[in-house]
Amino acid sequence: MEERMTEKTEERIRKRISCLLLTGLLLLGLTISGGCSLASRTEEAQTAAKESQIAAAGARTASAENQTAAAEEMGTAGTETGAGMENEESLPGEDTGPSLPGLAWEGRMELQYAENFSVDYYEGGYTLLTTIPDGARFLIVPEGKEAPQELAEGMSVTILSRPVERLYLVSSSVMDLFCALDGLSAVSFSGQEADGWYIDEAREAMEAGELVYAGKYNKPDYELLLSGSCSLAIENRMISHAPEVTEKLADFGIPSLIEYSSYESHPLGRVEWVKFFGALLGKEEKAEEIFAEQTRILDQVTAEEGTDKTVAFFYITSNGLVQVRQSSDYVPKMIELAGGKYIFEDLGDPDSGRSTMNMQVEEFYEGAKDADYIIYNSAIDGGVPDLDGLIDKCPLLEDFRAVQEGNAWCTARDLYQQSLSIGYLIGDIHTMLQGGSEEEMTYLYHLD
């Protein structure tokens, strides 16, 4: 009896196993005939998901790295809170300012030409500076107050306490802005040695020991900056060639601010950065007065009828090439505002990010020999004393129409250190085009 029951049981088990095997074979056939593409798609989806995760992680890492240079703590003068800038609500808007926890937005500084910074004001005297190309933010805290504790929750902002001082000014082109704002005393460290300054106030401050040399942008004296309680390094675009510097400065608790005035397409957009630094120092009213003088010059120049006279603006390099401005650069725009026309109407690639380009002397001759005026750019080599000095650099210039008609000019050597020269240079070019005398000019002199 038990044996028959066992045999029946074993028979049912064998049948069950056979059914399972048959079902498995059928499923396998389906997979082979029609399910391979599904598996392939599944694998592709998983791969794409992994790649997306990797890309997102890379983006977060890049964002964090970009913020490192404008962060970290230095006493109460330079601290970063939070870890990222991922919230869209924190970005500057048209009608409202960045949302900062614990602070109520009051308004935004009005700008006429500048497009690469913003200044927002909050109740209680707090000011937020933003450099738009890199999204870096700097909250200026009124003297005697502290940053809201809520900022520690998800916001990336460098904290600077008033008075903002003990600055390391690497970007030499904005030194004249600090001098004009009566803010030179806020700068303790220089990226130029004394003999490198064409600005009298800066050179004299260094000679008096009030301003000390702390190394160039790529080799700062970290020990000096640290021992001198540097609160902020003000850099220009050159620092992109030495990102390790901002990282090391951040390691020492010294945040970095990159000024992007050179990104401005309109010449007076560069000058308008005086408002940015005015807000940094709490000298907004003074900054408005300075900028108003520049716009006054432009309004006066543009009110008069323009000319069809052409202008070549150039420099002879040490290896005999001619460096000219691309047509999209701000210098051709200055010539246009002054009432003239840049001799090269469509030169260079506006999307290249470069402001200049080099060409062979023969090519320059073909393109500029008939220009009504030529202006030699002295920014690199200090200029030339007279017309003979210019022709010595490039004998072909003797055949230029402008040289033969006595219309050769040169810029003052300190031009590149003078952001506030732009309005005056536009006025000088206008005076030149109108046949005015050198005595009426500030940054141009005639080559006799």
pLDDT per residue, tens digit, the chain (448 aa), is 333 334 444 454 454 444 444 444 333 343 333 433 333 333 443 444 334 433 433 333 333 333 333 333 333 334 444 333 333 334 444 567 899 999 999 999 999 999 999 999 999 999 999 999 999 999 999 999 999 888 865 568 999 999 999 999 999 999 999 999 999 999 999 999 999 998 999 999 999 999 999 999 999 999 999 999 999 999 999 999 999 999 999 999 999 999 999 999 999 999 999 999 999 999 999 999 999 999 999 999 988 888 989 999 999 999 999 999 999 999 999 999 999 999 999 898 777 767 899 999 999 999 999 999 999 999 888 889 999 999 999 999 999 999 999 999 999 877 778 889 999 999 999 999 999 999 999 999 999 9
3-state secondary structure of 82: coil
Domains of the chain: 79-292 (3.40.50.1980), 304-446 (3.40.50.1980)
3-state secondary structure of 8: helix
Q: What are phi and psi of 366, to 5 degrees?
A: -60, -35
Amino acid letter, residue 181: L
Asked if 130 and 117 touch (Cβ cutoff 8 Å), the reply is yes
Nearest CA-CA partner of 137 in 146, 126, 125: 126
Quick one: CA torsion of 40, 43, 49, 52, rounded to 10 degrees? -70
Amino acid letter, residue 75: G
Asked if 297 and 426 touch (Cβ cutoff 8 Å), the reply is yes
Asked if 269 and 395 touch (Cβ cutoff 8 Å), the reply is no
DSSP letters, 270-315, are: HHTHHHHHHHHHT-HHHHHHHHHHHHHHHHHHHTS-----EEEEEE
Q: Angle at which helices 284-302 and 421-433 pack, to 10 degrees?
A: 10
Distance (Å, whole) CA 106 – CA 69: 28
Using a cut of 0.85, tell me whether the model's pTM lies above it: no
Asked if 361 and 323 touch (Cβ cutoff 8 Å), the reply is no
Q: What are phi and psi of 268, to 5 degrees?
A: -75, -10
Amino acid letter, residue 328: S
Residue with tokens 């095997």: 21
Give me the residues paired with residue 129 across strands: 119, 138
Nearest CA-CA partner of 440 in 301, 299, 325: 301
Q: What are phi and psi of 106, to 5 degrees?
A: -110, -40
Asked if 275 and 249 touch (Cβ cutoff 8 Å), the reply is no
Structure tokens at 241: 């060639």
Nearest CA-CA partner of 334 in 281, 294, 278: 294
